[in-house]
Amino acid sequence: MNNITNFEKEQLKEMFTNRSRVGQGARTRSLLVLIVVTLILLCLPIIPAMAATTLSTGDIVIVGINSDGDDEFSFLLLKDITAGTSIYVTDKGWNDDGTGFYSDLGDGIWQWSTASDLSAGTIVHIKTTNNGIIEPGSLAAEPGLVEWIEGSGNAVISYTGDQIFLYQGTEADPTIITGIHYNVEDATNNDNWDGSSDSNKTSALPNQLSNGVNAIWVYDQAGATEKIILDIIVPLPRELHLN
């Protein structure tokens, strides 16, 4: 009774062989999945992240500034930029003697950034929302985001004289992309603006920039008024004389 027939032996042998084949197929599939996952994981670190755009002098032009009320200004991109690009904005004056940006009450640094790609031709509008007082939470940008970085207290874009510079890099070692300057100093000229900065109103023309090419100087030639209220649109980078 305990003896199995040859036929049964053959059936058992075939069942064992089939199970073995099934097990081998499953192991092969598991191995393939493991290899694919490993390759994906190995490749992840070498997939380049979307790099922020490094800008050069002249890649942006300031096309509007209003120093009265809710201070605001606009700049025009002359180059495509990618998501993650950020640009520092400051109303500090500049010295060419190696000391760079001059820090004073009423001037500061803020930072604009974009989370999406933007094409050349895009105009970025930055404005204060606190009657011209620039401090944390008082800035808005469209498109993009803007945040306060640092300053002595708060800052204002003064209607009696100020600057706006856009730069990348660091405050100590900036790549200055563009700038605009205005005040009523008698000695200001095309070549080097005020020659130096020793207040929140004054600035030299940074050696990286050229007036009328990638920097704008707006001035009241008569110097008759202590108040320059600007609300201008500048279609091209050029020197403006308000007479």
Q: Which residues bind Ca ion (CB under 5 A)?
A: 67, 71, 91, 93, 96, 106-107, 132, 156-158, 162-163, 192, 200, 204-205, 207
* Closer by beta carbon to Ca ion, 93 or else 100: 93
* Cβ at position 118, least distance to Ca ion in Å: 27
* Cβ at position 195, least distance to Ca ion in Å: 8
Answer for the pair 85, 52: CB distance below 8 angstroms, yes or no: yes
* Closer by beta carbon to Ca ion, 75 or else 159: 159
- Distance, in Å, from the CA atom of 18 to the CA atom of 16, rounded to the nearest integer, reads 5
* Closer by beta carbon to Ca ion, 81 or else 155: 155
* Cβ at position 158, least distance to Ca ion in Å: 5
* Cβ at position 96, least distance to Ca ion in Å: 4
* Closer by beta carbon to Ca ion, 59 or else 72: 72
* Cβ at position 45, least distance to Ca ion in Å: 44
Find where tokens 């405050």 sit. Answer: 171
* Closer by beta carbon to Ca ion, 67 or else 114: 67
* Cβ at position 38, least distance to Ca ion in Å: 57
What is the DSSP code string of the chain?
Answer: --PPPHHHHHHHHHHHHHHHHHHHHHHHHHHHHHHHHHHHHHHGGGSPPPPPPPP-TTSEEEEEEE-SSS-EEEEEESS-B-TT-EEEEE--EEETTTTEEEP-TB-EEEEEE-SS-B-TTPEEEEEESSTT-BSTT-EEEESSEEEEEEESS-B---TTSEEEEEEEE-SSSEEEEEEEEEE--TT-BTTTBTSS-SSSS--BPPTT--BTTTEEEEEETT---S----EEE-SSS--EEE-
* Closer by beta carbon to Ca ion, 69 or else 169: 69
